[in-house]
Structure 1
Amino acid sequence: MNAIEKQLYASPNHRRYIIFITSIVLLLLIWSVTTIDLQNLESSGVKIASSILSGIISPDLQLLFTFTTEGVPYLLVETISIAFLGTVIGAFLAVPLAFLSASNVVPSPVAWITRFFLIIIRTIPALVYGLMFIRVTGPGPFAGVLTIALVSIGMLAKLMVDAIEDLDTGILETMTSIGSTTFEKIRFGIIPQLLAMFQSILIYRFDMNLREASVLGLVGAGGIGAPLIFAMSAYRWNEVGSILIGLVVLILLVELGSNHFRKKLVRG
């Protein structure tokens, strides 16, 4: 019993560390709250909020179920297309960059240079890329596809590098000892280990890109974002409600589909 008590009292005491971290968090929280200025809150804010809620409750059904280029279904399909094509192009470019960033595949200097390049890509927000591509290609879905592709490269390559660096090299060494060619090692030793992980990463990124594509419409890069901002600027809350309902339904369907595919990948 004495030995147990000595061991208990000899355990490290983290009380000071916890108090120190808690104090810092509280100070940051208090400092952040002081930046909130309720005096700038417009008197019509409550009225606008109630108008938005009423628009969601009573949406414009004609806009919601019209299958024209101005209807919500067409805009949602356009948004999905932008996200899907951008994800595919970004993945096609991210795979070689991921291998060039893996320190167990290429020399360390090459890996660090490639990783620095990917960090630069990830640093710039998607909206900035969207504004840049709109100046180059003009407003429209093509600018959105290029933006999604470029934004996807950085994150996809980062996640793929982690999978590549976790490769079981013992399998490759065994294949080398039995005289396998480089193609055979890639086909039977590397691809089976990475395929499921890469597919899961792509599904996750497509889910994120769908939301990015919705936001990119705000700057004119196609999709459902542009009609949403126009309807809000004109205070057409019924149209806003229709667009938001369609967007929520789309996100839910994609979420259910992506979860289903991920479960199938995990189960093999």
Structure 2
Amino acid sequence: MSTLTAVEKQFNLAPKRRGYVWMIVLTLSGLMLWSVSELSLALDQRGMVIASNIFTGLLNPDLSFLFSLTNQGVLYLLLETLSIAFLGTIIGAILAVPLAFLSASNIVPKPVSGLTRVMLIFVRTIPSLVYGLMLIRVTGPGPFAGVLTIGVTSIGMLAKLYVDAIEDLDTKVLESMTSMGCSMFEKIRFGILPQLLALFLSVMIYRFDMNMREASILGLVGAGGIGAPLIFAMQGYRWSQVGSILIGLVFLILLIEAISNKLRAKLVNG
């Protein structure tokens, strides 16, 4: 009871900022009304019919297409999408490590870290579909373009998260290694990586979970995976095949997320 009284007393002593709160509420309300007025939220009858057909396709999937073992079936396309996401994540995770160390102000001089961070911001700014369209022009359509796209788009986020971990390091280890005359490579290899390995792997698994979703839409621009068959089935109004693809994709993503969560929990908790 005394604790509750103390909390109430502290609450009553707190300055009342009703004008400030009302200003925020009115500003947000005005922005929401303006945003709604700029958007066309009306649904025509044809759109409702298509939505009904999509829902019907989800309830009545094409099982022969879903469980087909050919290279045109859903299982093969999901395996291809999974491979694109996995290889792209590995490439991005490897390339992000040196860039992360070059971005860490406690490892390299600040001009070097600042320049590298600007470059990583530029890399993160470009959407994955834009990278896919550019790389398809270089490598041609197919899964290889998807792997490169996932790899490039992963670098920016992974390097940023790596940098945050590097700058939170225990610097006493580095200071003791410096007093022993260790080189920069030796400090990274024996003083930094052992502290960061588990966290790096956890971040990489988290990014793989995201890349699985990215890889599923890269097929829309011809970069392999299940995205192209999905858009072709939608354009052809083959809703039962759309349902088969979406069901397979949902189950695969749920499975990957469950496994990745367990792996990340084990890595973080040791």
TM-score normalised to structure 2 length: 0.92
How far apart are 1:177 and its partner, in Å? 4.2
How far apart are 1:8 and its partner, in Å? 6.7
Paired positions, count: 264
> Superposition RMSD on alpha carbons, in Å?
2.0
How far apart are 1:6 and its partner, in Å? 9.8
User: 1 CA distance for matches of 2:233 and 2:10?
Assistant: 68
User: 1 CA distance for matches of 2:21 and 2:200?
Assistant: 39
Residue of structure 2 in register with 1:17 after alignment:
20
Identical aligned residues as a percent: 67
Residue of structure 2 in register with 1:138 after alignment:
140
For the pair 1:93 / 2:110, whether they are aligned, the reply is: no
Which of 151, 161, 168 is the matching residue for 1:159?
161
Cα deviation 1:19-75 (Å, max 9, x = unaligned): 211111111111111123245x33211111111111010100001101111000100
How far apart are 1:13 and its partner, in Å? 2.8
For the pair 1:168 / 2:167, whether they are aligned, the reply is: no
Question: What is the one-letter code of the residue matched to 1:138?
Answer: G
Residue of structure 2 in register with 1:247 after alignment:
249
User: 2 CA distance for matches of 1:58 and 1:179?
Assistant: 69
Give 3-state SS (helix, strand or coil) of 2:159's partner: helix
Residue of structure 2 in register with 1:202 after alignment:
204
Cα deviation 1:215-250 (Å, max 9, x = unaligned): 111111100000000000000000000000000000
Residue of structure 1 in register with 2:75 after alignment:
73
TM-score normalised to structure 1 length: 0.93
Cα deviation 1:173-216 (Å, max 9, x = unaligned): 23444566655543432112111110111001101111000011
Structure 1 residue ranges without an equivalent (≥5): none
User: 1 CA distance for matches of 2:40 and 2:179?
Assistant: 69
Residue of structure 2 in register with 1:221 after alignment:
223
Q: Is the 8 A contact 2:57 2:239 kept in 1?
A: yes
Question: What is the one-letter code of the residue matched to 1:152?
Answer: S
The alpha-carbon distance between structure 1 residues 106 and 177, as it changes in their structure 2 partners (threshold 3 A), is closer
Residue of structure 1 in register with 2:3 after alignment:
none
Question: What is the one-letter code of the residue matched to 2:232?
Answer: F
The alpha-carbon distance between structure 1 residues 108 and 179, as it changes in their structure 2 partners (threshold 3 A), is closer
User: 2 CA distance for matches of 1:38 and 1:163?
Assistant: 43
User: 2 CA distance for matches of 1:139 and 1:204?
Assistant: 27
Question: What is the one-letter code of the residue matched to 1:109?
Answer: P
Structure 1 stretch displaced more, 227-236 or 177-186? 177-186
Residue of structure 2 in register with 1:258 after alignment:
260
